[in-house]
Structure 1
Amino acid sequence: MRREIHGADLASESSLLDKETQDSSATTTTTTLLFTTFVAVSGSFVFGSAIGYSSPVQSDLTNDLNLSVAEYSLFGSILTIGAMIGAAMSGRIADLIGRRATMGFSEMFCILGWLTIYLAKVAVWLDVGRFLVGYGMGVLSFVVPVYIAEISPKDLRGSFTTVHQLMICLGVSVTYLLGSFVGWRILALIGLVPCLVQMIGLFIIPESPRWLAKVGRWEAFETALQRLRGESANISYECSEIKDYTQRVSQLSEGSIVDLFQPQYAKSLIVGVGLMALQQFGGVNGIAFYASSIFASAGFSSKIGMIAMVVVQIPMTTLGVILMDKSGRRPLLLISAAGTFIGCFFVGLSFSLQGVKLLDGKTSYLALIGVLVYTGSFSLGMGGIPWVIMSEVFPIDIKGSAGSLVTVISWVGSWIISFAFNFLMNWSPSETFYGFATVCGATVIFVAKLVPETKGRTLEDIQSSIGM
């Protein structure tokens, strides 16, 4: 019996086929997409090398310029003060001049900062250089994950955005390793390399299609999206979805900081701010900035300990990238936060047991295990996923203001921990790490109760379901 195909059925089937064709093409990685992501995450490597710089050079730099503990703590933490200011301005800059130009703007400060550190002969110029690098890093910490989220297909967005954290990890790790063999001035010069790589690459890569749509540059929007998806890809469905959402949002006024506290944005704000605050107050930058002194205080070789951290960090961050769009955000966050709790507890316990004669000399291994468990667990999820979720949950009309606020909160927490860490360790190493463990335990509860799963959903779908 022959089935008649009516015009409406044919149109419906055609529409469905078009959507399926677009969906399949959206998951294809193109050379342009891969290269564009590489250029963007070169900025993440800059971020990592700046964080990692203060740990391996601590002894050399302190002796060379005769710095006190307070002066070195200022040098280590002033990076985060610059980052706070950069983060506060980053959203508005990125909305005004575009994501690509913002990355170039930030790199100019990073280059100037590294050169200032290299040439410094007194503490004040060290601090100036560190502050400038921090400012550029603060801008990068917002714009890189946002740019990657806006250019990536929905089924690859989590993995691609998490490459931001992988490159931070690589930057930290490479700096740790090189810092064991070269002086602090040479290490500052090496910090220029990824800055220059990104600056050159920015002349080649396309602008974010979603930003181009936001500012009404529709022809450039379609051209950029086609480049990213491939010349043969059918972008009609994705193009239509982005246009419809952008036009609907454009009817709203541009969101300010005050507008963020409206009821429709409450959940997005709680999730974004909460994850960033918990990430920082769990102690990550205390451990990253001063890893060598932690191992020394625990009675373990700082060089061996830092090499062990590198061996753990890179594969665990890579595993997180692989699992991001397979297992989802929430499961990785829960496992990661639980692991950081265990790691901090072990380190705290190792310091508590230092006076026990039967364990004399053995507690240093417990500290090593704790730091490695913490580092591996953090690299698996808590390092990268908060940045992924931050780039996903805010609508385009408030993304600049909200992203700046969330990133500032992150850097405020980072500054508090990085500046206070040496003083806390002098007060009580065990209580310091027990405090970090408490925050990590609270993170598990926060994720379980409040953080949504965003795997496999378009940005427009996520933002509509949460806030509008």
Structure 2
Amino acid sequence: MAIKGDVESDLQEGIREPLMRVEKNLADGDGSADGGSSRGGNPWMVYLSTFVAVCGSYEFGCCAGYSSPTQSAIREDLSLSLAEYSVFGSILTFGAMIGAITIGPITDLLGRKGALRVSSAFCVAGWLAIYFSKEAWSLDIGRLANGYGMGAFSYVVPVFIAEIAPKNLRGRLTAINQLMICCGVSVSFIIGVLVSWRALALIGLIPCAVNIFGLFFIPESPRWLAKKGRHKEFEVALQKLRGKDADVSHEAAEIQDYIETLDRLPKAKLLDLFQRRYSRSVIIGVGLMVCQQFGGINGVCFYVSDIFDQAGFSSSIGTITYAILQVVVTGIGAAVMDKAGRKPLILVSASGVVLGCLLTAVSFFLKVHELALTATPILAVTGILVYIGSFSIGMGAVPWVVMSEIFPINIKGQAGSLATLVNWFGAWLCSYTFNYLMSWSSYGTFILYAAINALAILFVILMVPETKGRTLEQIQGAINK
């Protein structure tokens, strides 16, 4: 046991050595370590690659937003009972959990572009199954396939963007993932009112087509190519991403040093995630997903119309306002992430979510006890809008950004799959229990969510590091000491 401990200590020291060299270069003013300050660089290929990747995020939103505007039409056309339609709606999250479990190893085996193609293929198959459906079982198969694609996209998109982006753009570009999800949900809701449910399924194919076609024109992740030993392709991909005139020697050397060090470690297995050297990054990644989902977001999102109805406010006006605010604030959060920093943004966000929960709880408390009934609807809508606005500016996007940054590349597949699985399990549990909690106590439900989000603030303060302006290798070396 002592010999094993010495070997692990030497290997961990080996990881720190290249990181210390990079940090020395940066301190001496010599480093363009992550491309953020590469001389003569032009990031247009990074922008194009990000656009292609976030088509998957938009597709995610299309899948998530499909069931709400189509419920009555599908039930009428196919004579589905409420229970049958409930299965159709909820099976999406089970597909997403399967996608979350399996996409990590697929991403490591086929590359980031290969995983994006697999994700799109499942969504295409899902939409076609839904479009041609005449029975409940084919609807469910299509929805399950869509869910798999969603779960896969939720992991591979932020990982791909984080690995190709310069450090000065990484947070902003990775946060576009959440913005495009919001856009997909909102657009599907609006279009779904205007077209048939079969036509809406065909429209869902468009972002998949753009993603699959666009992948032919963008490079693979340089870090994945380096990990696979494809050194010539690694250099070509990195040069394309930073611009033909950019000096990428420092960044290339840093990545190669880091990969060579990781290659000296044993091949990672799922149980390796629970080793002490990885424990902090795993706790941070999984903990942020718990904070994001168990704070009530999917309960509020799935049943916002019913919340407004119960509070005595117009559900149509409230829902439209909710959708617009979500997109606008998510965009603001993406724009300021690399300036404000990840940690301050998520702390402000979680604090606002607590306030929104408390305002909504007060509203339902007044209604239950028949106090100040004229103020109840305004208080409720204010609380919900504060909740979703606060969530969108930080809690929605930052956990995915941090998750894509903190895991060493040798465990990124397994760790990312675990974090994404926890996220989708939380999404299912929250949406499943929301109506039961509201039946128990409407104001008690939001007090419970407020308490969970208050604990999230404490978790972020104690555990989550600031990753702004640091290379992936620096972040991972600091966390996994």
The answer to whether the Cα contact below 8 Å between 2:167 and 2:470 also exists between their aligned partners in 1 is yes
1:149 match: 162
Q: Could you tell me which amino acid in structure 1 is paired with residue 60 of structure 2?
A: F
Indicate whether 1:263 and 2:263 are aligned.
Answer: no
Alignment equivalent of 1:159, drawn from 172, 177, 181:
172
1:282–1:72: structure 2 CA closer, same or farther, 3 Å change rule? farther
1:368–1:183: structure 2 CA closer, same or farther, 3 Å change rule? farther
2:317 match: 304
| Distance in 1 of aligned mates of 2:447 and 2:40 | 44
| Distance in 2 of aligned mates of 1:305 and 1:26 | 49
The answer to whether the Cα contact below 8 Å between 1:54 and 1:76 also exists between their aligned partners in 2 is yes
| Distance in 2 of aligned mates of 1:63 and 1:292 | 21
Indicate whether 1:434 and 2:438 are aligned.
Answer: no
| Distance in 1 of aligned mates of 2:373 and 2:310 | 14
The answer to whether the Cα contact below 8 Å between 1:165 and 1:384 also exists between their aligned partners in 2 is yes
2:69 match: 56
2:479 match: 466
The answer to whether the Cα contact below 8 Å between 2:116 and 2:157 also exists between their aligned partners in 1 is yes
Q: Percent identity?
A: 53
Map Cα deviations across residues 235-257 of structure 1 (whole Å, 9 max, x no partner): 00000000000000011122111
| Distance in 2 of aligned mates of 1:212 and 1:343 | 45
Indicate whether 1:19 and 2:31 are aligned.
Answer: yes
The answer to whether the Cα contact below 8 Å between 2:39 and 2:245 also exists between their aligned partners in 1 is no
Indicate whether 1:239 and 2:268 are aligned.
Answer: no
Equivalent residues in 2 for 1:41-440, closer than 5 Å: 41-65=54-78, 67-357=80-370, 359-360=372-373, 362-440=375-453
1:431–1:23: structure 2 CA closer, same or farther, 3 Å change rule? closer
1:356: Cα distance to partner? 4.7
Gaps of 5+ in 2: 1-23
Q: Normalised by the size of structure 2, how large is the TM-score? A: 0.90
| Distance in 2 of aligned mates of 1:27 and 1:391 | 27
Q: Could you tell me which amino acid in structure 1 is paired with residue 250 of structure 2?
A: Y
1:27: Cα distance to partner? 10
| Distance in 1 of aligned mates of 2:136 and 2:388 | 31
The answer to whether the Cα contact below 8 Å between 1:54 and 1:289 also exists between their aligned partners in 2 is no
1:148: Cα distance to partner? 0.2
The answer to whether the Cα contact below 8 Å between 2:41 and 2:247 also exists between their aligned partners in 1 is no
| Distance in 2 of aligned mates of 1:287 and 1:126 | 25
1:176: Cα distance to partner? 2.2
1:56–1:432: structure 2 CA closer, same or farther, 3 Å change rule? farther
1:69: Cα distance to partner? 4.7
1:85–1:227: structure 2 CA closer, same or farther, 3 Å change rule? same
1:69–1:422: structure 2 CA closer, same or farther, 3 Å change rule? farther
Q: Could you tell me which amino acid in structure 2 is paired with residue 212 of structure 1?
A: L
1:173: Cα distance to partner? 1.6
Q: Could you tell me which amino acid in structure 2 is paired with residue 52 of structure 1?
A: G
RMSD of aligned alpha carbons: 2.2
The answer to whether the Cα contact below 8 Å between 2:358 and 2:446 also exists between their aligned partners in 1 is yes
Bigger drift between 210-219 and 313-322 goes to 313-322
1:65: Cα distance to partner? 4.5
1:431: Cα distance to partner? 2.5
The answer to whether the Cα contact below 8 Å between 1:45 and 1:170 also exists between their aligned partners in 2 is yes
1:455: Cα distance to partner? 0.5
Instruction: Give the paired residue count.
Output: 457
Equivalent residue of 1:321, what SS? helix
1:451–1:203: structure 2 CA closer, same or farther, 3 Å change rule? same
| Distance in 1 of aligned mates of 2:450 and 2:76 | 33
Map Cα deviations across residues 251-275 of structure 1 (whole Å, 9 max, x no partner): 1122111001000111101100000
1:310–1:14: structure 2 CA closer, same or farther, 3 Å change rule? closer
Q: Could you tell me which amino acid in structure 1 is paired with residue 427 of structure 2?
A: S
Q: Normalised by the size of structure 1, how large is the TM-score? A: 0.92
Q: Could you tell me which amino acid in structure 2 is paired with residue 231 of structure 1?
A: K
Equivalent residue of 2:31, what SS? helix
Map Cα deviations across residues 103-125 of structure 1 (whole Å, 9 max, x no partner): 01111111111222223333333
1:244–1:163: structure 2 CA closer, same or farther, 3 Å change rule? same
1:451–1:16: structure 2 CA closer, same or farther, 3 Å change rule? closer
Bigger drift between 65-74 and 48-57 goes to 65-74
Equivalent residue of 1:443, what SS? helix
Detail structure 1 runs of 4+ shifted over 6 Å in the superposition. 12-15
Bigger drift between 155-164 and 411-420 goes to 411-420
Bigger drift between 105-114 and 230-239 goes to 105-114
1:338: Cα distance to partner? 1.0
1:421–1:73: structure 2 CA closer, same or farther, 3 Å change rule? farther
Map Cα deviations across residues 2-51 of structure 1 (whole Å, 9 max, x no partner): xxxxxxxxxx9999565369652279552211111000000000111222
The answer to whether the Cα contact below 8 Å between 2:117 and 2:212 also exists between their aligned partners in 1 is yes
Q: Could you tell me which amino acid in structure 1 is paired with residue 226 of structure 2?
A: A
Q: Could you tell me which amino acid in structure 2 is paired with residue 19 of structure 1?
A: G
Q: Could you tell me which amino acid in structure 2 is paired with residue 187 of structure 1?
A: L
1:16–1:334: structure 2 CA closer, same or farther, 3 Å change rule? closer
| Distance in 1 of aligned mates of 2:122 and 2:218 | 21
1:377: Cα distance to partner? 0.8
| Distance in 2 of aligned mates of 1:307 and 1:211 | 42
Q: Could you tell me which amino acid in structure 2 is paired with residue 338 of structure 1?
A: S
